[in-house]
Amino acid sequence: MSIMKKVQNLDTRIIYLLAWLFVLFPLISPLGLPIPISNDARNWYNYVENEVNDGDTVIFSLMYGTSGMPELFPMSVATMKHILEKDVKIVVVTFWVEGPLVFDTLIGQVDPADYGKVYGEDWINLGYIPGQETAIGSLATSFQNTVANDYVEGRPLSSFPIMDDIKSANDVDLIISFETGTPGAPEWLRQWNTAYGVPIIVGCIGVSVPGMIPYINSGQMAALMPGLTVSAEYEVLLSKPGLAVAGVDAVSTSHLLVVLLVIIGNIAYFMTKEDEK
């Protein structure tokens, strides 16, 4: 069974090459696999569609940097498109240092002006606030004391009509947060949900999903968008296919590779173990 031993000792670079091929192939030549819609996507869609009412104030927070963009950017774009179709006030804020420039990239693809939204009246960008959880808590207490000027025009918050009725967490109806780590959902929950009862929905990278489930189960978090596959499902529900739908075939083939390698690796292991006996 020397073949199995050779398989076990396969050059790592061949595995890397296989990973490349299994990712690049479906991107070059899409398989067009149907995308079954999961409950996660439906819950997220239904919450934004039915629970976000006209006149509500929504915090839209990109709690990630360039490292999280490939997985979180598609869901951020899709959700922004969804809430811009509603008559809500949007306050953009971030507690991650790269967040403002990630949002600038988002604005390049989804311009609120195209939806008839006026900056300063329908939406405002407060930029980055340093201080992690302390900053999140401070913003809940007082917007004006925590952020003096807006990020886009550098003018005092009091000069924008949208901020006339937004003073603290008591004036906010929903937090939509996209995140890759700390600060993130636990901080939002501690400072806004537990203290002020503000509902929160969270889009996160796959790695963070297991830790979010107890919050979903307890009802502290209203909806969860767990990763790229569900982003694609959401884009399908919105009838606005984007980067997530374009990439989901590659998710399938790459996961197929992982499953095959696990199976082959275990077969090789057990067969060489038999040989040694």
Partner 1 sequence: MVDLIPIWLCVFFTLGIYSILYRENPWFRIAESVYLGTAVGYAVSQDLLYIRNQWSGQWSQSAGMMLLFALTMVVGLMWYARFNKSTFYLYRWPLAIIVGTGIGVALKTVIFTQFLDQIIAQANTPFFVAGDLMGTINNILIQIMVPSVLLYFWFTGTTRDSAPMKVVEKIARYTMMAGFGSAYGYTILTRYSLLIGRSQYLLGIPPNPPEAKLAFIVIAFVMLASMIGYDMFMKKKTPEE
Partner 2 sequence: MSNALKRIEIPIALTIIATLLQVIPYYLDIAPVKNAADQMQTVVLIIVACATFVGVISILQVHGKKIQRKSEGWEYSIIVVLGTAVMALTGLPLAEFGLGTNNAIFNYIFTNAMTPLGGTMYSIIAFFITSAAFRAFRAKNIESSIVLVAGTIMVMGNAPLFTNALPVLADISLWIREVPNMATMRGVMIGAALGAIALAVRTLMGIERGYLRGGGEE
Residues in the site for partner 2, rule: CB under 8 A?
8, 10, 12, 15-16, 18-19, 31, 33-36, 38-39, 65-67, 69-70, 98, 100-101, 105, 129-132, 134-135, 137-138, 141-142, 145-146, 154, 195, 206, 209-211, 213-214, 217, 227, 229, 248-249, 251-259, 261-262, 264-266, 269
Sign of the dihedral defined by the CA atoms of residues 141, 144, 147, 153, in that order? positive
Out of 9, 46, 53, 144, the residue judged to bind partner 1 by CB under 8 A: 144
Neighbours of 90 (CB within 10 A): 21
Contacts of 174 (CB under 8 A, 6+ apart): 51, 52, 56, 57, 58, 59, 198, 199, 200, 201
Taking the least distance from each CB to partner 1, the nearer of 199 and 247 is: 247
Q: Which of 62, 83, 189, 222 binds partner 1 (CB under 8 A)?
A: 189
Q: Compute how many residues bind partner 1; rule: CB under 8 A.
A: 61
199 touching partner 1, by CB under 8 A: no
Q: What angle do CA 20, 22, 24 make, to 5 degrees?
A: 60
Is there binding between residue 219 and partner 1 (CB under 8 A)? yes
Cα–Cα distance between 229 and 110 in angstroms, integer?
Answer: 21
Pairing of strands 200-204, 223-226: parallel
* Dihedral, 128, 129, 135, 141 alpha carbons, nearest 10: -90
Coil, helix or strand at residue 92: strand
What phi and psi values does residue 239 have, to the nearest 5 degrees? Answer: 60, 35
Looking at residue 13, the DSSP 8-state letter turns out to be H
Q: Which residues inside 100-129 make contact with partner 1, applying CB under 8 A? A: 100, 109, 127-129
Q: Which of 32, 34, 116, 154 binds partner 1 (CB under 8 A)?
A: 154
Which residues are near partner 1 by CB under 8 A?
Answer: 13, 16, 19, 23-24, 27-28, 67, 69-71, 73, 97-98, 100, 109, 127-130, 132-134, 137, 144-145, 147-149, 154, 156, 186-187, 189-191, 193-195, 205-207, 209-210, 214, 217-220, 226-229, 243, 246-247, 250-251, 254-255, 258
